Amino acid sequence: MLSADVAFTTDEPLKALIILSGTFVDEAGWTKGMAKRKGLPVFISHGEKDDILQYGIAIRLRDAMRKAGLEVHWVPFTGGHEVPAEVVTSLNTFLAQID
């Protein structure tokens, strides 16, 4: 979530954004800042059974980024607040495609 805050509230140059089981921290501010990151590759994963950070909010974050024109690679999984092997494999594939 810290990386998303940097992405959406600063002009720091970024090659990509990675969010693992994240959520909105400042929905209004982040949504406003997403426009300047149009085309940015984003990897976002979230467990459908996460009992710490709501899955539905991650969906809202994903949808807001897509609406703003970011290139979102979405990886949901059936677990909770964790990073399973399938997410690591998908993340490695995503990172290999970044310049």
Report angle CA 98, 28, 41 to the nearest 5 degrees.
10
Q: Could you tell me the end-to-end alpha-carbon distance of the chain, in angstroms, rounded to an integer?
A: 23
Q: What is the pLDDT of residue 99?
A: 76
Domain ranges of the chain: 36-81
Q: What is the pLDDT of residue 49?
A: 96
pTM for the full predicted model = 0.93
The answer to whether the Cα torsion of 24, 27, 31, 32 is positive or negative is: negative
Q: What is the pLDDT along the chain (99 residues), one digit of tens a residue?
A: 899 999 999 999 999 999 999 999 999 999 999 999 999 999 999 999 999 999 999 999 999 999 999 999 999 999 999 999 999 999 999 999 997
Q: What is the pLDDT of residue 88?
A: 97
Cβ contact 41:7 at 8 Å: no
